[in-house]
Amino acid sequence: MKKKITIIGAGNVGATAAHWALARKLGDIVLLDVMEGIPQGKALDLLQSGPLDAFAGTVTGSNDYADSAGSDVVIITAGLARKPGMSRDDLLAKNVAIVRSCAETAVKHSPDCVMIVVTNPIDAMVHTAYKVSGLPKNRIIGMAGVLDSARYRTFLAEAIGVAPQDVNALVMGIHGDKMLPMVRLANVSGVPITELLSTERIEEIVKRTQMGGIEIVNHLKTGSAFYTPGLAAIEMAEAVINDTKRVLPCAAYLDGQFGISGYFLGVPVVLGEKGIEQIIEFKLTDDEKAALKQSVEAVSKQMEATGL
């Protein structure tokens, strides 16, 4: 039976995610938005690429949540995007209302879905969706670590002069300035990056990773990143749809792991058809614990600001 993915929000991230989902032949796609004509037009444009790309599945644009019924995966991208001078936290108040409405309505039509939240600030938005949707903690996930780790790997590969896919690197914590790019674990096909780059160069890359989103915002002026965020969401959705048990860094609800309880935070997880099937826990150094604590403090303030 063909799988079904609903993407809520037909802006740059949502439409790009729909494109990646079709390209990876994940099933039938519903592109949903409150703006009349926008999802329909973009869906039709994507559908017409079928003869050229030979994708398997359909793409439907809609303003009606009824068309999303029975979705295996729901991806929420709806919300305001950042502009130069804005932090992710500046989006919080308005995006809480948007994500709340999306999550509440979507789950009425797809009660068995796995929900992936992309809207910023992600750690607060996935908390919002969790509180209002009633979904179990394993079936609600924030997209952040996949994107942040991709940026980290890109910058490391560029500095070392190797293929990005040969760089293994993990970013944990909040999707924000207090994120934790793990230097100790980063390597190129098993060779530690500390053997390949100076301490100063690594520190520069860590800082650039932490500021990776705003670097793109400052270039674009009128929006934020969408190609890689869209693909990052689909990387997660593909693991759920195909039950591949991928280990990916995602914002997951922690219940004692890493000594943290009651927060969504970026950690490595096993993704399969049930959503988060396992959180990969390992020992942290004292410095890593301190850095992760800063993420928790930042997420705590965001959660309090949601009012949920």
With a pLDDT cut of 70, the percent of the chain lying above it is 98
Q: Which of 19, 109, 127, 175 is catalytic?
A: 175
Domain with CATH 3.90.110.10 in the chain: 145-306
What pLDDT does residue 88 have?
65
**pLDDT tens-digit map of 219-265:** 999 889 999 999 999 999 999 999 999 999 999 999 999 999 999 99
Least confident interval from 13-27, 82-96, 147-161, 200-214: 82-96
Is position 175 annotated as part of the catalytic site? Answer: yes
Distance CA 95, CA 288 (A): 30
Least confident interval from 1-5, 10-14, 171-175, 241-245: 1-5
What pLDDT does residue 135 have?
98
pTM of the model: 0.96
The domain defined by 145-306 folds into: L-2-Hydroxyisocaproate Dehydrogenase; Chain A, domain 2 (3.90.110)
pLDDT band at 132 (very low <50, low <70, confident <90, very high): very high
In this structure, which CATH number among 3.40.50.720, 1.20.1300.10, 3.40.630.30, 3.40.1190.10 belongs to the domain 4-142?
3.40.50.720
Domain with CATH 3.40.50.720 in the chain: 4-142
Region 280-290: mean pLDDT is 97
Region 70-75: mean pLDDT is 98
Is pLDDT above 80 for 97? yes
Token reading at 75: 């991806």
**pLDDT tens-digit map of 14-63:** 999 999 999 999 999 999 999 999 999 999 999 999 888 878 789 999 99
